[in-house]
Amino acid sequence: MMKRFSLRMATAGLAGLVLASVGPVQAAEQLAPPRFTWSSSGVFGTFDRAQLQRGFQVFKEACSACHGIDQMSFRNLAQPGGPEFSTAQAAAIAADWMHKVREIGDDGQPAERTPRLADRIPGPFANKKAAEAAHGGKAPPDLSLMPRARSYERGFPWFLTDIFTLYQEHGADYVKAFLTGYEEGKQTPPGTHYNKYYPGNFVGMPNILQDGLVTYTDGSPQTAKQYAADVTAFLMWTAEPHLEQRKRIGFQVLLFLLVLGGLTYFTKKKVWKNVEGHS
């Protein structure tokens, strides 16, 4: 086993050197997703609470049968900067959750119990092997970090201008485009589906989000497009629960540094006033 890994890594390392591109299918050209608007983008961006709550609903009803969200706990649903359910609502969500917490019972046997607020949100499968067995050998990925774990090539000079225009929703744009990027009537290998944004185009996941699949209570349009936007916004939050705090503190830090920088600069001018050639 070890030797096999060793050989594999040695070859991959070599290939990495010589080709830097392993697996011709994965290296296929990727269609750039369109730019979407996100309430969380920009210097003062914040999440739309109602959207995150709807996104959570979509995740619960459309995604969580196959995908986990391992990094999140039920308590997170009630913390500031997120969907901000009330603590009672979050506790009720935990109690109603369709998957149980798997643990070892007092008798030493595997046991299941109803989740509590403090628990991580249990996923659909007991372990990776079970997930693989249920999905033809490839486990559905955990979604906690999905908008951060995906991206697409921006190309010159956009990758430079992104620094200043603050575009950082590459992954979110990809995820939303992917969720609505399925096309019917294409030739696909067995067990796969055609998605125009997926690198290589053939993806195991079928087209899940159909109009009317999830019933919203706040009057938002019940379309696949809206579901995709909402669940992606929700996943942007799970990928970075402190996004709002980050931007808020960042603004204060930059404001402070600009003032301090200005004051220090004029102090410097004053100190150097009597040195020839300086003003």
Partner 1 sequence: MQGHSHYVPTSGIGKWMDSRLPVPRLVYDSFIAYPVPKNLNYFYTFGAILSFMLIAQIITGVVLAMHYTAHVDLAFNSIEKMMRDVNYGWMLRYLHANGASMFFVAVYVHMFRGLYYGSYKAPREVLWILGVIIYLLMMATAFLGYVLPWGQMSLWGAVVITNLFSAIPLVGPTVVEFLWGGYSVDNPTLNRFFSLHYLLPFMIAGVVVLHVWALHVTGQNNPTGVEVKDVKKDTVPFTPYATIKDAVGLIFFLILFMWFVFFQPTYLGHAVNFVPADPLVTPPHIVPEWYFLPFYAILRAITFDINLIIFTIPSKLGGVLAMFAAIAVLAFLPWLDTSKVKSTAYRPMHKQFFWAFVVVCLILGWLGSKPAEYPYTVLSLIFTGLYFAYFLVVLPLLGLFETPRKLPASIADAVLAKVRKGGAPVTAGAAAAPQTKG
* Shortest Cβ 256–partner 1 spacing (Å): 9
Instruction: State whether residue 273 is helix, strand or coil.
Output: coil
**By CB under 8 A, is residue 161 in contact with partner 1?**
no
Instruction: State whether residue 208 is helix, strand or coil.
Output: coil
DSSP letter at 123 equals -
**By CB under 8 A, is residue 95 in contact with partner 1?**
no
Using the minimum distance from each CB to partner 1, give the nearer residue, 214 or 247: 247
Contact criterion met (CB below 8 Å) for 260 and 252: no
Using the minimum distance from each CB to partner 1, give the nearer residue, 23 or 221: 23
From 99-107, 184-192, 216-224, 265-273, span contacting partner 1 (CB under 8 A): 265-273
**By CB under 8 A, is residue 168 in contact with partner 1?**
yes
**By CB under 8 A, is residue 126 in contact with partner 1?**
no
From 59-67, 83-91, 95-103, 264-272, span contacting partner 1 (CB under 8 A): 264-272
d(CA 32, CA 150): 12
* CB contact set of 239 (below 8 Å; sequence gap of 6+): 144, 145, 146, 147, 148, 149, 171
* Shortest Cβ 126–partner 1 spacing (Å): 17
Q: Residues 5-24: x/- map of binding to partner 1 (CB under 8 A)? A: xx-xxx-xxx-xxxxxxxx-
Q: Residues 220-239: x/- map of binding to partner 1 (CB under 8 A)? A: -------------------x
Residue with tokens 């980050």: 246
- Sequence-separated contacts (24+) of 241-245 with Cβ below 8 Å: 241/72, 241/76, 241/79, 241/81, 241/82, 242/81, 243/40, 243/45, 243/47, 243/81, 244/40, 244/45, 244/46, 244/47, 244/80, 244/81, 245/81
| Bridge-based pairing state of the strands 202-203 and 193-194 | antiparallel
- Interface contacts to partner 1, rule CB under 8 A: 2-3, 5-6, 8-10, 12-14, 16-23, 26-27, 43, 71, 76, 141, 144-145, 148-151, 156, 162-163, 166, 168, 170-171, 199, 239-242, 245-247, 249-251, 253-254, 257-258, 260-261, 264-265, 267-268, 271-279
